[in-house]
Structure 1
Amino acid sequence: MKTLLVRFANNESGATAIEYGLLAALVGCGIIVAATTLATDISTLFTNIGTKLSGTAV
């Protein structure tokens, strides 16, 4: 029983899995922020292009 507890205390695979999970969550948040910012910029760009095109239409 003592060796089982010692082996459990020395096992770091759970900590590694948590670290990978936190890293994946951080990367996911970065992608969401970048996509939201990019979507806003693209929407503004197309709105400006549409406004310019409608102003020059005959």
Structure 2
Amino acid sequence: MNDLMIKMYLTLKSLMAREEGQDLVEYALVVALIAFGAVAGMKLLATGLNNAFDNITNVLSSNIT
């Protein structure tokens, strides 16, 4: 009974003390999340820029003629 308790304690202690680094999969997920955010942000920025240039074009056209 004592041996079983000691083995369980040592196993639990080794599991708690184990530190492992990040996997390549985790890095890939982070890169994919950043890429998704960048693409979404660029689409939003492109829409805003197109609207701004359309407004500038309309103002310049109405003031020139």
Per the normalisation by structure 2, the TM-score is 0.66
Aligned with residue 37 of structure 2, among 30, 33, 37: 30
Q: What is the identity percentage for the equivalent residue pairs of Structure 1 and Structure 2?
A: 33
Q: Determine helix, strand or coil for the equivalent of 1:40.
A: helix
The separation in 2 between residues aligned to 1:52 and 1:41, in whole angstroms, is: 17
Aligned length: 46
Query: What CA RMSD, in Å, does the superposition of the two structures yield over aligned residues?
Result: 1.5
Instruction: Give the TM-score taking structure 1 as reference length.
Output: 0.73
Larger radius of gyration: 2
How far has the Cα of 1:47 moved from its partner?
0.1
Q: Structure 1, unaligned stretches of length 5 or more?
A: 1-11
Q: Which runs of 4+ in 1 moved over 6 A?
A: none
